Chains A and B, each alone.
Chain A
Amino acid sequence: MRRVLAFPVLALTAGPAAACNICHSPTSLGVRHLLFSHDFWLNAAAVAAPLPVLALAIVLVAREPRR
């Protein structure tokens, strides 16, 4: 029972993340640096750009025309 309880407790603490072997490698540091550089929000906006158009198309088809 203790082992079962220990799992969610450990999962919610930062311990497992600190123990991550690859999270602090030079490669992962480079990835984080590149990811969160000054153009993060521009990149995020570019990735998300098609979504509003696609969502609008779904909404327009789903909407019942008024009588």
Chain B
Amino acid sequence: MVTVSRQPLAAAMAIGIGLGGFFDGIIFHQILQVHNMLSGWLPVTDLVSAKTNMVWDGLFHAAMWVVTLAGVGLAWRAGRRGDGAMTTRTLVGGFLIGWGLFNLVEGLIDHHLLGVHHVYEAMGASIWDFVFLGWGAAMLLAGWLIVRRGPAGAMPTGPRRTAP
């Protein structure tokens, strides 16, 4: 009898959220420098404003590091308790769900609701903010489909159950 649990999926999802946050921070904030964490409220016009934004970028990265660590902790706990297997589908699907969720939540709150920054800050609120949301929705959907098509019990929708 194999006990089925959602713990491995939650772990993969948390790591996926972290990966999404790191991708955003590393690619958009640091390498491409198309926006920074508060560049909508505190425009990057000189060295002081750039470095101040850099501090907020760092705090954002630190938060993503904590989320990733929580994901690793959840995976460790699930493995230790034998709470279901971390199948490839659960891992990949969970990553995609987490990353997609990050894009959707961060995009809706930071880009659209608060306007603390926009994807391409030089254009302000633009089509790129919606591309970011669409990208997140596509990842979320793809992840959900992958997990759903996984082996029985990969993502139980009902009460906790057992499989032979």
Interface residues in chain A, defined as those with a beta carbon under 8 Å from any beta carbon in chain B: 27-28, 30-31, 34-35, 43-44, 46-51, 53-55, 57-59, 61-67
Contact = CB atoms under 8 A, between A and B. Distances in A.
Chain A, interface SS category = helix
B74 A43 contact: no
Given A35-B55, A54-B17, A57-B101, A62 B110 contact: no
A22 B94 CA distance: 43
Interface of B: 5-7, 9-11, 13-14, 17, 37-38, 41-42, 47-49, 51-52, 55-56, 59-60, 63, 67, 70-71, 74, 101-102, 105-106, 109-110, 114, 116, 156, 158-160
Contacts of A64: 5-6, 160
Chain B, interface SS category = helix
Q: Which 7 A-B pairs have the closest CB atoms?
A: A62-B10, A30-B48, A61-B10, A34-B52, A31-B51, A50-B105, A50-B106
B48 A34 contact: yes
Contacts of A43: 38, 41-42, 56
Contacts of A27: 47-48, 51
